[in-house]
């Protein structure tokens, strides 16, 4: 056996091994980067959903009781309650295509939550339209009741989605952990 015949297979095996190891390392790096990206998406979604759910809960806590609002709408046809509608959607809008990396149940909850925010926006915009004046007093009361139910559903959906995200990726997404992140960023 010649010396070249001996080294050729060893060299080929070495090149193949180096090629294989390189691709394994690249694959592991891509997987780690993908996991980190998914973790960041979950954290960002959690924070955005929490902000929206907290805003809705604060609205309910700061508002007069529904019955008082219904009475005001019934008694004064010109009365238009003021609602600030400013949902946070930056993360959801920018990363909606990346939701596929989450479990189906989490995706359904996230989409349902943002659909509920859209429903709230439409109800709120309806109060500003001239057609609101043409609705009967009972109809305006019904609109107020529906708005309150939509806000309550939004709070409940937001809390459910937060819980689902915590279960899917236990990243310590609690108020204290999020507060620590804000402190470190400032």
Q: Is residue 108 part of a domain?
A: yes
Averaged pLDDT in 10-residue chunks for the chain of 186 residues: 75 84 79 71 91 94 92 86 83 88 88 96 90 89 93 96 84 55 51
Q: Is residue 13 part of a domain?
A: no
Distances (CA, A) of 121 to 57, 125, 149: 16, 6, 13
Domain that holds residue 54: 41-185
Q: Is residue 22 part of a domain?
A: no
The Cα diameter of the chain in Å comes to 107
Q: Is residue 7 part of a domain?
A: no
Q: Model's pTM, two decimal places?
A: 0.74
Q: Is residue 132 part of a domain?
A: yes
Q: What is the pLDDT of residue 14?
A: 86
Q: Is residue 95 part of a domain?
A: yes
Tell me the C-alpha distance between 52 and 89, whole Å.
9
Q: Is residue 143 part of a domain?
A: yes
- State the Cα torsion 154-50-96-30 to the nearest 10°: -150
Q: What is the pLDDT of residue 86?
A: 83
Q: Which token pair is 19?
A: 């090629």
In sequence order, the 6+-apart residues with CB closer than 8 A to the CB of 173 are 42, 43, 46, 162, 165, 166
How many domains in the chain?
Answer: 1
The CA angle 30-34-40, to the nearest 5 degrees, is 145
Q: What is the pLDDT of residue 22?
A: 84
């Amino acid at each position: 056996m010649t010396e070249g015949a001996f080294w050729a297979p060893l060299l080929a095996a070495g090149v193949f091994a180096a090629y294989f190891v390189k691709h394994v390392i690249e694959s592991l790096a891509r997987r780690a980067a993908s996991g980190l990206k998914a973790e960041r998406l979950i954290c960002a979604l959690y924070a955005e959903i929490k902000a929206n759910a907290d805003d809705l809960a604060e609205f309910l806590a700061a508002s007069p009781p529904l019955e008082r609002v219904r009475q005001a709408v019934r008694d004064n046809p010109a009365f238009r309650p003021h609602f600030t509608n400013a949902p946070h959607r930056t993360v959801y809008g920018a990363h909606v295509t990346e939701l596929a990396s989450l479990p189906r149940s989490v995706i359904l909850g996230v989409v349902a939550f943002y659909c509920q925010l859209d429903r709230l926006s439409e109800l709120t915009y309806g109060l500003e339209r001239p057609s609101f004046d043409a609705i009967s007093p009972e109809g305006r009361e019904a609109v107020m009741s529906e708005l309150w139910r939509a806000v309550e559903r939004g709070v409940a959906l937001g809390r459910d989605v937060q819980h689902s995200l915590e279960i899917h990726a236990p990243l310590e997404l609690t108020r204290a952990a999020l507060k620590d992140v804000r402190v470190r960023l400032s």
